[in-house]
Structure 1
Amino acid sequence: MDRKPNLLLWALLAISTVTLALGAFALRTEAEATALGSGSTRLPQFIDLLSSDVTLPLSAQGRRLLLDSCDKAMQTSAPLVLRFASEAQRQMIVPFCTDLAQAAVETSGADSYAWLVLAMAQIRQGSVAEAERSIIWSAHTGPTESWIAEPRFELIQDHYDQFSSTVRAIGDADAVLLLPGNRGAVVAHRYVLDPAFRQRAQELIEKQPEAVQRRFVLLLRRQT
């Protein structure tokens, strides 16, 4: 007679234990991400994580913090803090970020930023075809998000000669998206410093509304 209540009690205890374990796991993974801090100040903590077994955070915000650290760590002009990292640590960045971004897109195929960070890692590894596919997915899942379009535009321009006409067109679309807003300064900066882009950009800018063209001229003046 007492066996059914006992079985029910043990089942409830088992469920509670599993729930607590999953909760502790989620808290730990989120804590690893949020402990990084913000901006470039998080890079020293990020470098320390490279040799750890880091689990992808469950929340979108936690994943974005880690992906943003990868973005900054893989920039062409390495942040100053990376110059003080050991050679072994620097060599770990790209494989770590590749695995992290791959896990993120497998978790959410609509994560445009994760696709972009994956493309950054792939291009650093010389995997141009894979990087192109990731850029296309990034543009497909986040075509109008200017905060993603900005680094995507920069990545495409940095490796313009390596990419197909499809990916180059994505770079053009990102430039057009950025021009009217404050992030248009990135396009203006590239226009001033990159003669090859300047020649391509003139045709794009001439097709924009007059108000956008005037704003771009203003942005160019601020570059000098």
Structure 2
Amino acid sequence: MRAIDYVKEASDYIETSDGTRITASQMCERFLFNGTMQYTLIGKLSGGERRRLHLLKILMTAPNVLLLDEPTNDLDIETLKILEEYLDEFKGVVVTVSHDRYFLDRICNKIFSYEGNGKIHIYTGNYSDYLIYREIQGIEFEESKKESVKKDDSITPKKEKPKNDKKLKFSYNEQREFENIDSDIEKLESKIATLDESTSKFSTDFTKLQEILNEKSKLEKELEYKYERWEYLNNLADEIANNK
């Protein structure tokens, strides 16, 4: 079966919230399946391409709810980026479990934190906001304990928190991304610099100039994304090193 036929099994098109129709072929383009790849037999696609195609078929069913279990472990970086952009426009509910704080910050506006003993804390905001909230709450909790000790003649021994033996580490995809991200950024910066030089060369050819500017805009967005990932991955690497 060809890739486009597989996608069309779900639907020939989907409608956006404003009523615009997006065809299966257009969605394929969005998920990096160009005209040639759309007519490629599924068996000839790579493992990552098949996972991307499967995700695309699910999205073509126009679901109201998406359940994502550790998507950063299974999807390659390009697919994750496309998925994140798609979820920016998604009007349904996304429920995800992920250790990737960048991904949680990117798509989540509510956090369900399992505190143990059957307790679930619900916080409205992204994961970074939630960590700040927890830090503030922790400080306030310590202050309230100090006040209670002053008023109480007897001091109850402090219970030690159970140790979490689970080591913080990169996922396989994160490790590969971390190893390559510096060179990826250098390549993008070089391409943008080359396009900057080309703008003066084609300053009177408005059609060509527009193509160059469009390509530059696309690369700048990709570079911005890479900078964000670089910051996240390096912070995570520092945490991993400190927890050894």
With the length of structure 1 as denominator, give the TM-score of the two structures: 0.30
Which protein, 1 or 2, shows the higher relative CO under an 8 Å CA cutoff with sep ≥ 6?
2
Could you say which structure has the higher helix fraction? Answer: 1
